Chain A
Amino acid sequence: MIDKTYLLDSKQMAHFVADGYLRFDELIPTALNEAVHAEMEDQGIGRGTAGDPLSEVWPEPSPIGAVFRQPEVQGIIHSLVGPDPLYDHHAVHTVNAGRDVGQHWHADAIIDTRMHFDIQFFYFAHDTPREMGGTMILPGSHYRRVCESDIARYQNFLEQLPVVCKAGTILVVHHGIWHCAQPNQTDRMRYMFKLRLNPTVRQMCLWNTDDLDDPSIPGILNKNHKWYGNDVRLEIVNRIKFWRFLIGDDKFDVGYWMGRLENLPENVLEAA
């Protein structure tokens, strides 16, 4: 049984629902970052088989396995996809030194209409200043139904977010989030380790729900991202539906957006 103190809380989960990602700066210890960096440089990280339990993919003493066995990381995993997720795939993403072209915006895999969701870890084992990239994400893009590089015509958005961070920083993102690797103007190869995980249990109240009724949660779910333009209200509906799924309450609402649509009175008054 996981120590509850390592689980995400409800406010963090609400941010995940609104933004499609959570960020944990300098979460992984320095020695482990250096070991994984060396492992990536040596192309020494073995590949698992899609659908295998994550717990079986990188046994000890694998450094990358140790990253995902850190109790803080186990708490993130448990909160989002449950205690024993499946390995989907991983990738050691690199951007060559001196590369001045950014990757096209894309969402991974294909159109995914599930309410159930996978997570992806973006792990930065070395310092990543802006001149090195890093990975650019678009907060709040995770509900958009697009097929991989269909969005490649876009270049810039209001509120796009380059991950500029110190070594040991981890982002966990919803599978649908839009992202792209950024140019690397340094003289060093840039690495980013990506891991996708699938749930094996119903994703409902897997986190620390002690603060489930916190009054700040509706406000978190109601926030705007400037690039939405006129679609912001539709995105809030997407979030309400997702939060209902996560907490198992099909009456939850924010700002009466769903309640108004679900008001379908059938009681017929008798004629006067």
Chain B
Amino acid sequence: MPQLRQKILVLYLHTPALDSNVVAWSMYDGTGGTNPTTGDSDKPPYNSVVEAMQHGWRVVQFPQQFPAYPGMEYSTSYLRFEYILEKMEKIDD
């Protein structure tokens, strides 16, 4: 009987706008069909979150935006505009 499994796509954008360009990306595959890893692609799978949505991906988390902490205004750290998307796929169990 077919079962549903989750695939997770994480897209990091140029700005918080969902139609801005992807600058980094990750994939985690709960179907077990693929094993994505670091450095496995030079081009993002989609150019924006909106384009991924047009291919059936559902946005499940938006990045929160916070003003910089005092004294940290010019520090950089993690990629700030991280969108998490999912797609449910059937597997044969």
**Does B37 make an interface contact (CB < 8 A)?**
yes
Query: C-beta contact mask, B31-58 vs A, less than 8 Å → 1, else 0?
Result: 0000111111110100000000000000
Tell me the complex Cα distance, A145–B27, Å: 24
Tell me the complex Cα distance, A13–B57, Å: 44
Instruction: Write the chain B residue with the least CB distance to A181.
Output: B38
Contact at B38–A103, with CB atoms within 8 Å?
A: yes
Q: Which of B24, B40, B42, B81 has the most CB of A within 10 A?
A: B24
Contact at A151–B39, with CB atoms within 8 Å?
A: no
**Does B14 make an interface contact (CB < 8 A)?**
yes
Question: Chain B contacts of A237 at CB under 8 A?
Answer: 74
Stretch at the interface among A18-26, A58-66, A87-95, A223-231: A223-231
Instruction: Write the chain B residue with the least CB distance to A226.
Output: B23
Contact at B76–A230, with CB atoms within 8 Å?
A: no
Task: Report, nearest first, the 3 A-B pairs whose CB atoms are least far apart.
Answer: A102-B38, A229-B14, A155-B26
* B residues lining the A interface (CB < 8 Å): 10, 12-15, 20-21, 23-27, 35-42, 44, 74-81
**CB-defined A-B contacts under 8 Å, sample of 16:** A103-B38, A143-B76, A154-B38, A155-B27, A155-B36, A156-B25, A158-B44, A160-B42, A182-B39, A183-B37, A227-B24, A227-B79, A229-B12, A229-B81, A230-B80, A238-B74
